[in-house]
Amino acid sequence: MRVLIIARYKNSGYAPFVTEQVEALEQQGLACQFFPMQGKGFWGYLRQLPALLHAIKSFNPNIIHAHYGLCGLFANLQRRVPVVTTYHGSDINNSHILKISRLSVRLSAHNIFVSQKNIDIVKPLDKYSLIPCGINLSDYPILEKNQARKQMGLSCNKNYILFAGAFDNPVKNAALAKAAIAHVLEAELLELKGYDRQQVATLLQAVDALVMTSKAEGSPQIIKEALACGTPIVSVDVGDVRERLLGLTGCWVVCNNNEEDLVAAIKNALAFTRRTDGRQKILSDNLENTVIANRLIDIYKSVITQ
């Protein structure tokens, strides 16, 4: 089976969760080829239509898998090859982009949503699945906390809380996290910015907890990465975080914008001095990339035989 992957190409690469998913598909024997989207907005994408038609002719894919609603709409401008589109959250939670995603939902042969909350917003009638992006547990070998801290240049005598994003990203709502940490005098808030994938894995095992205060999310990868590392997690109720943390000791979900509850949860996380059973939660929720790849292959086969 040949799959043409249409995804945004930015800063000299694709989103890691997309490339890792494609690698898992290739490990199952599929032939995958990327088509990089580099334009800005729909009209910027539209200029790439001749290149897409050429790629389809030369690669002759059985199916196209587009990531994000705008790529899905673009992929459906041709009707020769059926399109499966995955919506990752920002293309649903943003009301302006949602209009484009709704068009993609109508045109795509099958739609994949990474969280139930996004399904509840779109309310598709049929031809859809709930499949979060997976991770590779092998990418997160367990380290002793002080060893991880030495590798990241952090003190072994301080408490560190990792913020789940860049401080300057307004969607991540750093102001709420900073306000809460101001009441936790013994902790320092670290920004998740400028690290490669391996460094993130090490940093997650160096800190005492991860905190997420986002205004909107789909199925945030950083939560699954923290689970893989056994890192205690404090998060507002956003995206699929509640489902990911359900029943897991050492993780707390608080009401959005409730600073008092957030402070209490962070203090609880600091008092939780061991790893969570997050790796087992990844396995029990079937979120390893190999499992996700097999689910995608079943969808591809179903679409092709329609």
pLDDT tens string 221-275: 999 999 999 999 999 999 999 999 999 999 999 987 789 999 999 999 999 999 9
Give the single-character DSSP code of 196: -
Per-residue model confidence (pLDDT) at position 10 = 86
Per-residue model confidence (pLDDT) at position 274 = 93
> What's the rounded mean pLDDT across residues 123-145?
95
Of 186 and 75, the structure prediction assigns the larger pLDDT to 75
Q: Which of 87, 114, 118, 83 is nearest to 101 (CA)?
A: 87
CA 293, 219, 267, 177 dihedral sign is: positive
Do 137-284 and 2-134+288-304 fall under one CATH topology?
yes
> Locate tokens 């969808």: which residue?
299
Residue 185 confidence (pLDDT) above 80: no
Q: Answer yes or no: are the C-beta atoms of 52 and 45 closer than 8 Å.
A: no
Q: Which of 54, 67, 62 is nearest to 14 (CA)?
A: 67
> Quick one: how far is CA 288 from the chain centroid?
13
Residue 40 confidence (pLDDT) above 90: no
> What's the rounded mean pLDDT across residues 63-69?
98
Phi/psi at 75 (nearest 5 deg)?
-60, -30
Q: Which numeric CATH code is attached to 137-284?
A: 3.40.50.2000
**205: confidence class by pLDDT, cuts 50, 70, 90:** very high
Could you give the C-alpha distances from 21 to 5, 28, 74, 75, 264, in angstroms and in order?
A: 11, 11, 21, 19, 37
> What's the rounded mean pLDDT across residues 196-211?
96
Q: How buried is 115 (Cβ within 10 angstroms: 0-12 exposed, 13-18 middle, 19+ buried)?
A: buried
Residue 43 confidence (pLDDT) above 90: no
269, two tokens: 């996380």
Could you tell me which CATH class the domain 2-134+288-304 is placed in? alpha beta
Average pLDDT of the residues of the chain: 95
Per-residue model confidence (pLDDT) at position 191 = 97
In our burial notation (b when 16+ CB lie closer than 10 A, e otherwise), range 279-304 reads bebbeebebbbebbbeebbebbeebe
Residues 6+ apart with CB under 8 A from 195: 203
Q: Answer yes or no: are the C-beta atoms of 19 and 291 closer than 8 Å.
A: no
> Quick one: how far is CA 121 from the chain centroid?
18
Residue 244 and residue 258: Cα distance in Å, rounded? 21
Q: How do the domains of the chain map onto residue ranges?
A: 2-134+288-304, 137-284
Residue 135 and residue 279: Cα distance in Å, rounded? 11
Q: How large a percentage of the chain has pLDDT more than 70?
A: 100
pTM (global) more than 0.75: yes
Per-residue model confidence (pLDDT) at position 117 = 95
Beta strands in 9-138 (DSSP E): 31-37, 63-67, 83-87, 110-113, 128-130
